[in-house]
Chain A
Amino acid sequence: MIRSLAGSGRRLVAMALMMALAGCAGRQSALSPAGEDASWLHDLWIVMLVGAVILWTALNGLFFFVTRVRPNDWPERHANRLIIGGGVIFPTVLVGTLLAYGLSMMPHMRADGDGLVVKVRAEEWWWRVEYWPAGATAPIVTANEIRLPTGQRTELLLDANKYIHSFWVPALGGKMDMFPGRETRMTLRPETPGVYRGQCAEFCGPSHALMAFEAVILTPGDFAAWLEAEAAPAAPPATPEAQRGQTLFRDEGCGACHAVRGTEFDGLVGPDLTHLASRQSLGAGIMEVTREDLTDWIAHTRDIKPEVAMPAYDWLEAAELADLAAYLEGLK
């Protein structure tokens, strides 16, 4: 009976450990770093954890020792040594060392960028993104996705439209708050190509939890090719369905809020849609760019994302929604 209980206990502990460790991996984990800055933070976390465990164990061990193992009277000299050594000098030196270790990382995180500047403005509840390559006089505008090259340090200039938000891609680095009317700055040096997830990390309103984005890390060659494609105007609609969709886009006034470069649509209120279909997600990291999700989003925006500025176009017929989705799907 006891043996079987012990066996069950071991299995439970092993399962809990596996579940806990599984939580450490993934594309939105600071413990699974994909960049230089995240690696520093990962190391900092490990060192702080080890330091905290040592301090906690040593001090509680000391309490246990003096209250349970040797609860009898101590000679004053010995007691003083224990209190001064274990209660003052040891924690002071350990905490001081951890502080020095943490502070020694800060200059690296304030390093200059290597040329590329990405400006991100937090809107309600999405991300306006501008790429300024070195020497650029006008930005390449996109939205709800960050693409960065590996092996170089990119400067991110952050601000916000109306509320305070926070920019955070745990796999790439630390978080930075975004304020209306004040520009904050951070630099990131990604190392491993892949698709990671970013998330607004400051409660900003009813759709805060739905304000995410994909961070796509590319090799420098792939990044240059992508940026060149991103700078190009939108592809014209290629099918009759997409052409009808473009007409609907015009008639329903979508272009008053959304820009599609290379067309007459030049709205600035909502996200730029020029290359919407080449993005990894829809609605700021919450849906996929598929026909089904596009129609769902257009018809039910405020059910999906509470208080978002875009109205739900629920009066459109299913065929019209399909045409609109076909047009948007062609914006590669």
Chain B
Amino acid sequence: MTVTEIITTMLLLASLPFFLAGTLGLLRFPDLYCRLHALTKADNLGLGLVVLALIFQADNVQQIIRLLLTWLLVLIAGATVAHLIARKARGDGHKHWSRQ
């Protein structure tokens, strides 16, 4: 195994807990807003680590830029989707859960 392969393996393994946390948050968190937090932030970090892992295996500069652009697009799309869903939920009168 080469050094880059070891780095890629470690980054991929590091991304897994975040994807799992996103799904776990989706299952465990009490309301829509908290679930949005979990999906948006944990999954984006997971994807960032996957992108970083694949960059170490890229054959040329174009592939690196493509991976980074994909991540950037997902970041922008994720933030936009999160805001749109939260705004719609508030417009529909979803009350946020709070600890009593």
Do A and B interact? Answer: no
Interface residues of B (CB under 8 A from A): none
Interface residues of A (CB under 8 A from B): none
